[in-house]
Amino acid sequence: MKSLYQHSIRLLSTLLSLVSADACGIAADALFKDAEITYDCLKSIPFHQEESKQLAVSVRHYLSCYSAGTYFQHKPCPELDLPDIDINGTLSKIEDRIKKNQYKSDYDVGKDFVELFGSVKDGHVMFQLVCTSGASVYQHDYPLISVAASPDSIPEIYIAQFNASVPRPDEKVLKINGEDAVRYLDHMAKNGILGTYIDPYARFNQLLVQISGGKWGVGGFATR
């Protein structure tokens, strides 16, 4: 998988060489970066066609070892609440766009690769580039927590307020972007690219604040 490593290193080198550009210069100088500035910086990284071709070859070799690939294509288990996923077909479309030089930036082709791997929600098969894991840490100020008033009541969604590093429910969340909060999170758990669990309930819980290794994290909704 040498070319995967080389691609990430080249991407990072290109990013560093662009610090004089407006967006990248601002992002490089700021400890806490505005999301729009960071996005503009990533989008300014030029598309490298030949290296992307090499990356696609390596990804296809990698995915040829993924025996569960055909399992997802025909959705044999509706309980998983996953869409049909044609891994080889999607990869072929990415390869075709690379060959036709249709990508405008390195970020765009990297995003397609990451979304391809994220579509299967399988933490055993992951793919990350500098632009998605390393260049910046993405987080907003609205982590969510799910709390039920009693053992036999339906949990509701709240903004999590951390007191002494322990999350407590604060304001109740009824809607997110104008949509019912639970429905929005269900859709995100099903179609988002950050989930690493096959089980739909585990994917939903990944979006909420969670504890791991004795430390609380803000969850996938706040770091998407």
- Three-state DSSP string of the chain: CHHHHHHHHHHHHHHHHCCCCHHHHHHHHCCCCCHHHHHHHHHCCECCHHHHHHHHHHHHHHHCCCCCHHHHHCCCCHHHCCCCCCHHHHHHHHHHHHHCCCCCEHHHHHHHHHHHHHCCCCCCCCCCCCCCCCCCCCCCCCCEEEECCCCCCCCEEEEEEEECCEEEEEEECCEECCEEHHHHHHHHHHHCCCCCCCCHHHHHHHCCCEEECCEEECCCCCCC
> Can you tell me the mean pLDDT for 8-22?
51
Q: Within 10 A of 3 (CB to CB), how many other CB atoms are there?
A: 17
| C-beta separation of 160 from 81 below 8 A | no
For the cut 70, the answer to whether the pLDDT of residue 143 exceeds it is yes
Please write the tens of the pLDDT for every residue from 27-72: 666 666 677 888 888 888 899 999 999 999 999 999 988 888 877 7
**C-alpha–C-alpha distance, residues 36 and 207, integer Å:** 22
Q: Of the candidates 78, 38, 57, which has an alpha carbon nearest to the alpha carbon of residue 200?
A: 78
**Amino acid present at 120:** V
Instruction: Check residues 224 and 110 and name the one with the higher pLDDT.
Output: 110
What is the reported pLDDT for 14? 53
**Amino acid present at 122:** D
- Model confidence at 18, in pLDDT bands (50, 70, 90)? very low
| Choice among 16-30, 41-55, 191-205 with the minimum mean pLDDT | 16-30
Q: Of the candidates 57, 48, 47, 53, which has an alpha carbon nearest to the alpha carbon of residue 99?
A: 53
| C-beta separation of 67 from 176 below 8 A | no
For the cut 70, the answer to whether the pLDDT of residue 19 exceeds it is no
